[in-house]
Structure 1
Amino acid sequence: MTIVQKFAFDDREFAGKRVLVTGGTKGAGEAIVRRLSAAGAIVLTTARSATEASSQKLFVQADVSTLAGTETVAAAIMKQLGGIDIIVHSVGGSKSPGGGFAGLTDQLWQDELSLNLLAAVRLDRLLIPGMIEQGAGVIIHISSIQRRLPLHESTIAYAAAKAALSTYSKALSKELGPKGIRVNSVAPGWIHTSASEAMVKRLASHSGSDEATARQGIMDALGGIPIGRPAWPQEVAELVAFLVSDRGSAIHGTEYVIDGGTIPTV
């Protein structure tokens, strides 16, 4: 599959804006980095391995699922950018095996919470004071529709962490809105990425089936996708670009779903 739609945009819309995108070397995160950079933003991103950053101009090697990793990123932002205007918490994912709740050890639970929730909490705690001082900023938390449609076979801990992230994001918006900082979250459904394909492979291996069967199993568990396909990373990036722009200046404290119609209720 390839995306055929070309998005037109102002290539100076984010000129001079200092941006952090976590998890910006793959999937939707990489698409967000490319989209904001193409519109003039100065974008810094992170990953655990430096080999993942071949296409990134500003990169910090750090594991943001740890406190030390988030401190490294915050220090690099101050040194290289002198502050931050936009934060997009795109980092996330699940490495839990199939098998439902019984297959999740305490360590797996901690790993999922550290990556999908605490990375954002810690970075916000380190970076928001600077936003408050300048009286402006935008924060986007990338959640997931799994907070409402958890896949019990493989992603209970991930779904629970993303549900907590959405609740945290809403609470944060109430505190920061009066201080000039907008906070929103984005909940993608199935996105066509290397991570989603890796999950398909894990489920196929666990069940002893093939990848086509595992992929269809995910579709069935989601109840289908009315538009007939997963979203492309570039489509998620377009939504994020709108929300962090001045075009979305009255949008605050809410969550936007981009799932091709997967969630079957209002």
Structure 2
Amino acid sequence: MTPFISLEGKRTLITSGTRGAGAATVALFRELGARVLTAARSRPDTQDKEMFVSADLTTAEGCATLAAAVRERLGGVDIIVHMLGGSSAPAGGFASLSDAVWNTELDLNLMPAIRLDRELVPAMVAQGRGVVIHVTSIQHELPLPEATTAYAAAKAALSTYSKSLSKEVSPKGVRVVRVSPGWIETEAAVRLAERLAREAGTDYEGGKRIIMDSLGGIPIGRPSKPEDVANLVAFLASDRAGTITGTEYVIDGGTVPTV
């Protein structure tokens, strides 16, 4: 029986593929037959050396190194999944965000996608096919003013950039799609829930509830698993999604309360 989804032989770049949703996406793409190159600042022991690049993608030099590795090791690329993102901004609202903090958030959440697309998408256009997936965040719709203003703004910029790119390259055969996750139960999220649980004198489920309540609730009753996000990304990258471009797919358990 033909599988519903196959990525057999697809040359794929997935950034930040060593943990969380990125690692789950790398694993699923490889299971579905893709040739996957991934990157992070340091290589875990579990990563195949030949299909991993150690690079700091918050810098122009790191992005250039990765793009060169894509051309050398994969001979080009059919799918790009921009998983890289995160925030280290301090709490305290907008007044606590210095220029350096803003630059850090933009260099992590916006510029790597712009730089890598600029390096790699022209070859996709030349071959007349390809898929680019930008992973944004529901926080570009639901920013948390105390701590995520800069992160949310960077992800909003990524979303707008992605839409504009789709309008330019979709007529040339390259699909561009956004995936917008809510809270994902990654290793870091587990550690946060455990810490909150200890501070509140409750158990792990109680710690998760504290986080969900801070988001205004998750109607489905749980955060997404990394594998949930990977499943959505794989479908959107596959030929089954052949006419999907320029749109955003939210995966948040119903967190965003508006239409």
TM-score, structure 2 as length reference:
0.91
Q: CA deviation at 1:96?
A: 1.5
Partner SS, residue 238 of structure 1 = helix
In structure 2, do the counterparts of structure 1 residues 45 and 12 end up closer, same or farther at CA, with 3 Å as the change threshold?
A: same
The whole-number CA distance in structure 2 between the counterparts of 1:151 and 1:260 is 18
Structure 1 residues 37-67: Cα deviation after superposition (integer angstroms, max 9, x where no partner): 00100000000012x3623461000011110
The whole-number CA distance in structure 2 between the counterparts of 1:258 and 1:61 is 29
Give 1:264's aligned amino acid: P
Give 1:55's aligned amino acid: Q
Aligned equivalent of 1:148, options 141, 144, 162: 141
In structure 2, do the counterparts of structure 1 residues 23 and 259 end up closer, same or farther at CA, with 3 Å as the change threshold?
A: same
Partner SS, residue 186 of structure 1 = strand
Structure 1 residues 47-98: Cα deviation after superposition (integer angstroms, max 9, x where no partner): 0012x36234610000111100000000001110110000000010111222
1:164 aligns with 2:142: no
Query: Conserved in 2, the CA contact under 8 Å of 1:170 and 1:254?
Result: yes
Query: Conserved in 2, the CA contact under 8 Å of 1:12 and 1:40?
Result: no
Partner SS, residue 76 of structure 1 = helix
- 1:55 aligns to what? 47
Query: Conserved in 1, the CA contact under 8 Å of 2:5 and 2:240?
Result: no
Give 1:86's aligned amino acid: I
Across the two proteins, how many residue pairs are aligned to each other?
Answer: 255
In structure 2, do the counterparts of structure 1 residues 199 and 168 end up closer, same or farther at CA, with 3 Å as the change threshold?
A: farther
- 1:80 aligns to what? 73
The whole-number CA distance in structure 1 between the counterparts of 2:45 and 2:180 is 25
Q: CA deviation at 1:197?
A: 4.1
Aligned equivalent of 1:14, options 3, 7, 21: 7
1:99 aligns with 2:92: yes
- 1:38 aligns to what? 31
The whole-number CA distance in structure 1 between the counterparts of 2:147 and 2:194 is 12
Query: Conserved in 1, the CA contact under 8 Å of 2:140 and 2:155?
Result: yes
Give 1:54's aligned amino acid: T
1:90 aligns with 2:67: no
Map 1:85-234 → 2, pairs under 5 A:
85-197=78-190, 216-234=209-227
User: CA-atom RMSD, angstroms?
Assistant: 2.4
Partner SS, residue 19 of structure 1 = strand
1:249 aligns with 2:224: no
Higher mean alpha-carbon deviation, 105-114 vs 214-223, is at 214-223
Q: CA deviation at 1:216?
A: 4.7
1:264 aligns with 2:257: yes
Higher mean alpha-carbon deviation, 52-61 vs 221-230, is at 52-61
Higher mean alpha-carbon deviation, 70-79 vs 216-225, is at 216-225
Partner SS, residue 223 of structure 1 = coil
Query: Conserved in 1, the CA contact under 8 Å of 2:5 and 2:235?
Result: no
The whole-number CA distance in structure 2 between the counterparts of 1:210 and 1:65 is 38
Give 2:105's aligned amino acid: E
Gaps of 5+ in 2: none
The whole-number CA distance in structure 2 between the counterparts of 1:166 and 1:12 is 26
Gaps of 5+ in 1: 1-8
Displacement over 6 Å in runs of 4+: 208-214
Structure 1 residues 141-175: Cα deviation after superposition (integer angstroms, max 9, x where no partner): 00000000011121111111001111111000000
Partner SS, residue 154 of structure 1 = coil
In structure 2, do the counterparts of structure 1 residues 256 and 11 end up closer, same or farther at CA, with 3 Å as the change threshold?
A: closer
Q: CA deviation at 1:118?
A: 0.5
- 1:5 aligns to what? none
